[in-house]
């Protein structure tokens, strides 16, 4: 099979979140299964010179953005055996940052149209185009409206992956004719609740919809999770499927990680204790055998930070230390900084994004707290388990699918169901109790480390989905 991943970001070229990790890892895993899997992203200004120097210019074309004709350069590079295409237009992409501009709608209308136009000029005609999140949601719409019956485009199937349903690409109806160039008789494809909704268009027109975990696939049929799209998704359940994300097990490998104080594995755990001692020393936390809870997160409400705030001091007073890394809403940043000032020997807070420190926290902490209100998939809990750091999570989305409570058989973490601070506190106390029994805790750590969260099994599920689509011809 020939698969083209279309996305707004991909590791290592451009990244702002988990989407980049997926697009940087999943195509490699699919290619390792002997399928031709390629990726296309915008050519952002922030892409490092070391990558730009290896790009090959293929051609330049013009792309219609409604009544405009815009320049589009097409570049190519190969990284880890995967072919990447880059869509160039300096007016749209030569800026600091990836998103958050007044003309984001126009920037990704251009990109989506350019991806389809590009296929005329490269030596690659995909069987499947897998689109990701709202930035590429118009690709299946444009394919159905303009390209489906053109020579060379017949038989292409489109898959649309929802990474986070909260961000839908919602705009006023004026963009239909002013930017998108979609005829009024096709406007119903992307109109929803009185506005243009790009994600709704992809849900309507794609051949298959996937989400990043099985639980998230049925959660988004519920109004509480769906941010208004439950009504359309309920009618499209026949083509909705949840596939769990994986993690890059080479990047996150405690046995070979050069960022941590000492390497270790599930067969030899001695190094984890050294990593804990080094973490405490680096962060200025008093040494000791009390459990350390790690938090690596964005400080926003849906990550459950308000639950942590409710019972934080009670947890600290129970004999627990905290190593916290992240940034976000000022109210939460200020709270954590205040706690660090109040408990300097027990709480360390680093505001910002520090990849090296995140590795050290994953390796040096004993537990990892992630009480999300909603979590499409979540990677942090899987990374934590890879390092033998036991997750404490709320049962939602991918957290439910990847963490099994230690109160049952073959547990690999601690879970709680309701979005309630006292229920979270109870899970922390259960973890604290099991931590005191060194044999029970070591068995739990080994089970967590030996869980398979690689992309290999997820890639097989994606390949099965693609084969089902093509077989349905």
pLDDT tens by residue, 296-315 = 999 998 899 999 999 999 99
Res. 409: pLDDT tops 90 = no
Closest of 324, 450, 319 to residue 388, by C-alpha = 450
CA distance 28 to 251: 14
For residue 441 the two structure tokens come to 């805790």
Q: Domains plus CATH for the chain?
A: 2-246+456-471 (3.40.50.2000), 270-453 (3.40.50.2000)
Are 40 and 108 a contacting pair, CB within 8 Å? no
DSSP 340: H
pLDDT tens by residue, 17-56 = 789 989 999 999 999 999 999 999 999 999 999 999 999 9
For residue 148 the two structure tokens come to 């489906």
pLDDT tens by residue, 65-83 = 999 999 999 999 999 999 9
Mean pLDDT, to the nearest integer, of 346-375? 95
DSSP 196: E
Predicted confidence at residue 473, as pLDDT, reads 62
Mean pLDDT, to the nearest integer, of 116-128? 96
Contacts of 242 (CB under 8 A, 6+ apart): 210, 211, 212, 213, 214, 215, 216, 217, 218
Closest of 439, 442, 302, 273 to residue 363, by C-alpha = 273
CA distance 20 to 355: 15
pLDDT tens by residue, 441-470 = 999 999 999 999 999 989 999 999 999 999
* Angstrom distances, CA of residue 424 to CA of 305, 323, 371, 431, 432: 11, 18, 7, 11, 12
Are 327 and 333 a contacting pair, CB within 8 Å? yes
Res. 381: pLDDT tops 70 = yes
Buried b / exposed e across 429-451, counting CB within 10 Å, b at 16+? ebbbebbeeeeebeebbebbbeb
Under the phi-then-psi rule, with left for phi > 0, alpha for psi from -120 to 50, and beta for the rest, what region is 396?
A: beta
Q: Which residue has the tokens 């992307």?
A: 190
Res. 407: pLDDT tops 90 = no
Tell me the backbone φ, ψ of residue 83, rounded to 5 degrees.
-85, 125
Contacts of 349 (CB under 8 A, 6+ apart): 322, 324, 325, 336, 337, 339, 340
pTM, to two decimals: 0.91
% of the chain exceeding 90 in pLDDT: 94
Please give the radius of gyration of the chain, using alpha carbons only, rounded to the nearest integer: 23
For residue 360 the two structure tokens come to 């050290």
Provide the 10 A C-beta neighbour count for residue 347.
24
Angle (deg, nearest 10), helices 305-317 and 421-436: 40
Q: Which helix (H) or strand (E) holds 22?
A: helix 18-31
Predicted confidence at residue 287, as pLDDT, reads 94
Closest of 187, 210, 191 to residue 200, by C-alpha = 191
Tell me the backbone φ, ψ of residue 184, rounded to 5 degrees.
-60, -30
* Angstrom distances, CA of residue 243 to CA of 361, 392, 432: 28, 22, 32
Predicted confidence at residue 408, as pLDDT, reads 72
């Amino acid at each position: 099979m020939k698969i083209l991943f279309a996305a707004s970001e991909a590791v290592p070229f451009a990244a702002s979140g988990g989407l980049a990790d997926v697009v940087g890892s999943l195509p490699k895993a699919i290619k390792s299964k002997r399928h031709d899997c390629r990726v296309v992203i915008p050519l952002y200004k922030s892409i490092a010179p070391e990558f730009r120097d290896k790009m090959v210019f293929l051609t330049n074309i013009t792309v219609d953005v409604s009544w405009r004709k815009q320049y589009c350069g097409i570049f190519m590079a190969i990284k880890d055996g995967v072919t990447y295409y880059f869509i160039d237009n300096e007016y749209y992409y030569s800026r600091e940052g990836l998103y958050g501009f007044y003309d984001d709608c126009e920037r990704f209308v251009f990109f989506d149209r350019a991806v389809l136009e590009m296929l005329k000029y490269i030596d690659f005609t995909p069987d499947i185009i897998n689109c990701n999140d709202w930035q590429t949601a118009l690709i299946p719409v444009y394919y159905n409206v303009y390209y489906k019956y053109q020579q060379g485009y017949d038989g292409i199937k489109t898959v649309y992956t929802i990474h986070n349903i909260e961000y839908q690409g919602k705009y006023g109806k004026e963009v239909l004719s002013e930017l998108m160039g979609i005829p009024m008789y096709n406007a119903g494809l992307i109109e929803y609740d009185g506005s243009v909704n790009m994600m709704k268009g992809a849900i309507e027109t794609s051949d298959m919809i996937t989400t990043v975990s099985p639980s998230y696939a049925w959660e988004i049929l519920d109004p509480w999770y769906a941010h208004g799209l439950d009504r359309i998704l309920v009618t499209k359940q026949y083509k909705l499927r949840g596939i769990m994300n994986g993690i890059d097990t080479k990047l996150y490998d405690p046995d070979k990680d050069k960022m941590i104080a000492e390497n270790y594995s599930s067969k030899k755990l001695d190094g984890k204790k050294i990593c804990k001692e080094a973490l405490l020393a680096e962060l200025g936390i008093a040494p000791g055998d009390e459990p350390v809870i790690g938090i690596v997160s964005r400080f926003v409400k849906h990550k459950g930070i308000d639950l942590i705030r409710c019972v934080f001091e009670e947890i600290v007073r129970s004999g627990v230390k905290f190593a916290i890394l992240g940034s976000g809403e000022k109210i939460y940043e200020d709270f954590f900084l205040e706690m660090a000032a109040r408990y300097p020997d027990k709480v360390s807070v680093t505001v910002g994004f520090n990849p090296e420190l995140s590795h050290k926290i994953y390796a040096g902490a004993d537990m990892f707290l992630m009480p999300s209100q909603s979590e499409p998939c979540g990677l942090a809990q899987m990374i934590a388990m890879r390092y033998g750091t036991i997750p404490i999570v709320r049962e939602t989305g991918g957290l439910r699918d990847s963490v099994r409570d230690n109160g049952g058989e073959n547990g690999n973490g601690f879970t709680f169901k309701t979005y309630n601070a006292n229920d979270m506190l109870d899970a922390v106390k259960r973890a604290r109790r099991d931590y005191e029994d060194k044999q029970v805790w070591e068995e739990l750590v080994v089970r967590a480390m030996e869980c398979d969260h690689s992309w290999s099994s997820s890639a097989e599920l994606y390949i099965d989905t693609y084969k089902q689509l093509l077989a349905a011809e």
